[in-house]
Amino acid sequence: MLAEAAGRTPRFSRHLASCPDCRELVELFRTFAVAGNLPLPDAPAGWIAGAEAVAEQRKPLEQLKRLVADLILDTWRMPAPVGVRGPGALDQRRLRFRAEEIEFDLRAERRVKGWALIAQTSSPTGHDEKTWLEVDGKVHFAGADGLYQWWSARPPKHILFGIGGRMVVFPELAWKKKRST
């Protein structure tokens, strides 16, 4: 780095003495205190795409077509066979929703200090950088595999899913269940 070497290398010091432009530029770079530090690495492409999609996701609601998702499967509502009615049955839950042609799968698994969650959608348009999932105010974007994965201290309650200029509103989720007898 010439800027770094400016004060140390005799040849460069001599050059600076006779080059006002170079002195000015060295001073400029010293002002920014960056000699030796460039360049800052870019964030992963998926992170950037997610940040760019924030504006799309936060469009005024009237610009988005609202769809209301219907719950079509809830493993906590299914009658459990004899032998699997123990407390362990409450540690996992699978929910499936449908809104028009969009299907949405959510799996929740209780861990020691919270919940591990994974979701995926099946839609003719699939997932891309413009799709987003908002869970209790926090936005998630799909990984390269198309899966939304996150961890939360509490199970999800309010979910919105944005896809192709539409916003799917999910019914509020309740997480209290009486154990099967």
Partner 1 sequence: MALPRIDSELWQDVLAGDNAAWSELVRRYQALVYAVVTRAGLSMADAADCFQQTWVLLFRHRHRLHDPSRLSAWLVTTAKREALRLRRRADRESGDPTDMDLASQDPLPDEAMEQLERQAQLEIALKELDPRCRQVVEAFFFAPEDKSYEEIALSFGLSVNSLGPVRRRCLERLKQILAAHDFADVRKKGDDSL
> Residues interacting with partner 1, by CB under 8 A?
1-3, 5, 9, 11-12, 15, 21-22, 24-26, 28-29, 31-35, 37-44, 47-48, 50-52, 54-56, 58-60, 113, 138-139, 141, 151
Helix intervals (H) in the chain: 2-5, 10-17, 20-31, 45-57
Please give the Cα distance from 71 to 107 (Å, whole number).
Answer: 13
Nearer to partner 1 (CB atom), residue 30 or residue 85 = 30
Cα gap 156→134, rounded to integer Å: 10
Query: Closest separation between CB of residue 59 and partner 1, Å?
Result: 8
Surface-to-core class of residue 21, CB atoms within 10 Å of its CB (0-12 exposed, 13-18 middle, 19+ buried): exposed
Supply the minimum distance, in Å, between the C-beta of residue 50 and partner 1: 6
Nearest approach, Cβ of residue 35 and partner 1 (Å): 8
Cβ closest to partner 1, residue 85 vs residue 130: 130
Question: Closest CB to partner 1 among 17 and 38?
Answer: 38
Give the nearer residue to partner 1 in terms of CB position, either 37 or 92: 37
Q: Could you tell me the two tokens for 137?
A: 């105010």
| Residue 49 main-chain phi, psi, to 5 deg | -60, -40
The CB-of-43 to partner 1 minimum distance in angstroms stands at 4
- Nearest distance from C-beta of residue 167 to partner 1, angstroms: 16
Q: Whose Cβ is closer to partner 1: residue 12's or residue 161's?
A: 12
How far, in Å, CA of 145 to CA of 122, rounded? 13
Question: How many whole angstroms from its chain centre is CA 95?
Answer: 20
